[in-house]
């Protein structure tokens, strides 16, 4: 691939921009990897990509400070270990680019109380944490709109649960552009149609999630092999004992379908091949094979993450370079916005 500077200098070539973030509010899971980061890593040749750790968003629920710090840096190391090349992608920590907080405040003033009140995530999270329904949780979508609009992206890859926030971002951008002229590009949500949706191993009708407290239904990127094998051995299947009990039927056999999907993602085999491979075998053999495939998929990621986490100088350099690259683009948009709304330029 040609160097970034050379590409940027070629005025004929306008690459589409893509941006996404994950809150460091829990340890990244196999779901985060197969459903998001793995697919991000495959796009670097085609798009200009920005990926960040949404640490400011994590403050909307109470965090243990040392854990938040550890998970944020660990997430940076994991992004790289999962294949996001820092020379081809802009990787950064949200709070290292103050433009996010500043534009977040400005966009708060262009986002309506009624709009924020309709957000499903706000309703769900405030019902779940009734003792901490704070202002940040309510205005979260305005900060998310700032995260996005600062970089003028074409696409924002997110899970289905975040689509409403990207739609609100579009509404806010339209409103702002309507008043001040074309300041923001209107981004599209990018929701992979056939992307993996990895389910909880113990409750296969529920998404595997990093903020799940129980831990045994989810596999984290940093789990050691013995833990991974134990979790897969305990994974819920069903009482089918037939010759072809390993077959893809998500409606009637959600546990088996989930394991097949994970096995398919890790080995590249399709469902028919997997059914043939396990014909005549019971679930014990199948679950052990899925566990082993996951262990081998995650092993290089875990080892590389551990190596990077220990290399403090490298990680710091990564954070600094990422924040500098991101700030350059973000500040350009912020300067324009400040001028449009009437803030005095800093002398």
Residue selected from 196, 308, 318, 330 as contacting ligand ATP according to rule CB under 6 A: 196
Q: In what order do the strands lie in the sheet with 188-190?
A: 89-93, 48-53, 17-22, 155-157, 188-190
Residue 312 appears among annotated catalytic residues: no
Bridge-based pairing of strands 155-157 and 89-93 is: unpaired
Give per-residue burial for 121-159: e unless 16+ CB within 10 Å, then b.
Answer: ebeebeeeeeeeeeeebbbbbbbbbbbbbbbbbbbbbbb
Residue 210 appears among annotated catalytic residues: yes
Say how far apart CA 244 and CA 241 lie, in whole Å.
8
- Which string of x and - marks every residue 131-170 that binds ligand ATP (by CB under 6 A)? ---------------------------xx-----------
The SS3 assignment for 211 reads coil
223 binds ligand LTN (CB under 6 A): no
Residue selected from 21, 86, 254, 322 as contacting ligand LTN according to rule CB under 6 A: 21
Nearest distance from C-beta of residue 9 to ligand ATP, angstroms: 32
Residue selected from 43, 57, 231, 325 as contacting ligand LTN according to rule CB under 6 A: 57
Residue 125 appears among annotated catalytic residues: yes
125 binds ligand ATP (CB under 6 A): no
The SS3 assignment for 305 reads helix
**Calculated CA dihedral for residues 52, 302, 295, 41, nearest 10 degrees:** 30
Residue selected from 73, 80, 119, 156 as contacting ligand LTN according to rule CB under 6 A: 156
Residue selected from 43, 57, 170, 210 as contacting ligand ATP according to rule CB under 6 A: 210
- Joined together, the tokens standing for residue 269 give 């085999």
Q: CB under 6 A: which stretch of 140-148, 203-211, 230-238, 263-271 binds ligand LTN?
A: 140-148
What, of ligand ATP, ligand LTN, none, does residue 147 touch, CB below 5 to 8 Å by kind? ligand LTN
Evaluated on CA atoms 142, 144, 149, 153, the torsion sign reads: negative
Nearer to ligand LTN, 57 or 247 (CB): 57
Q: Which of 17, 336, 3 is nearest to 152 (CA)?
A: 17
- 3-class SS shares of the chain: helix, strand, coil, % to 5: 55, 10, 35
Say how far apart CA 1 and CA 7 lie, in whole Å.
9
What, of ligand LTN, ligand ATP, none, does residue 25 touch, CB below 5 to 8 Å by kind? ligand ATP
Nearest distance from C-beta of residue 205 to ligand LTN, angstroms: 21
329 binds ligand LTN (CB under 6 A): no
Say how far apart CA 100 and CA 113 lie, in whole Å.
20
Angle between helices 254-267 and 283-310 in degrees, nearest 10: 50
Nearest distance from C-beta of residue 121 to ligand LTN, angstroms: 7
* Active site residues per annotation: 125, 207, 210
The footprint of ligand LTN (CB under 6 A) covers: 19-21, 23, 54, 57, 144, 147-148, 156, 158, 162, 165
The footprint of ligand ATP (CB under 6 A) covers: 22-23, 25-26, 29, 31-32, 35-36, 158-159, 196-198, 207-211
């Amino acid at each position: 691939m040609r160097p970034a500077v050379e590409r940027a200098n070629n005025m004929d070539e306008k690459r589409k921009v893509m941006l996404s973030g994950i809150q460091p509010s829990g340890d990244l899971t196999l779901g985060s990897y197969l459903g998001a980061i793995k697919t991000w890593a495959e796009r670097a040749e085609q798009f200009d990509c920005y990926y960040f750790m949404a640490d400011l968003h994590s403050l909307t629920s109470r965090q243990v400070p040392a854990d938040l710090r550890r998970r944020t840096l660990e997430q940076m190391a994991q992004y790289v270990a999962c294949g996001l090349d820092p020379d081809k992608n802009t990787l950064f920590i949200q709070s290292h680019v103050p433009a996010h907080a500043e534009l977040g405040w400005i966009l708060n003033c262009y986002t309506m109380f009624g709009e924020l009140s309709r957000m499903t995530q706000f309703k769900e999270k405030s019902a779940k944490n009734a003792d901490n329904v704070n202002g940040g949780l309510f205005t979260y979508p305005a900060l998310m709109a700032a995260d996005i609009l600062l970089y003028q992206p074409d696409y924002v890859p997110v899970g289905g649960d975040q689509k409403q926030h990207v739609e609100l971002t579009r509404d806010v951008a339209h409103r702002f552009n309507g008043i001040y002229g074309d300041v923001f590009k209107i981004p599209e949500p990018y929701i992979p149609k056939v992307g993996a949706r990895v389910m909880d191993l113990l409750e296969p009708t529920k998404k595997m999630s990093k903020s799940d407290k129980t831990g045994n239904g989810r596999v984290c990127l940093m789990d050691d092999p013995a833990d991974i094998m134990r979790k897969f051995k305990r994974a819920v299947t069903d009482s089918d004992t037939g010759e072809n009990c390993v077959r893809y039927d998500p409606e009637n056999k959600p546990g088996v379908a989930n394991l097949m999907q994970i096995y398919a993602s890790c080995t590249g085999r399709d469902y028919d091949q997997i059914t043939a491979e396990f014909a005549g075998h019971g679930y014990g053999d199948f679950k052990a094979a899925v566990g082993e495939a996951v262990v081998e998929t995650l092993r290089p990621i875990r080892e590389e993450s551990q190596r990077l986490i220990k290399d403090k100088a490298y990680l710091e350099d990564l954070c600094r370079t990422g924040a500098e690259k991101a700030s350059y683009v973000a500040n350009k948009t912020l300067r324009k916005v400040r001028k449009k709304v009437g803030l005095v330029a800093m002398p």
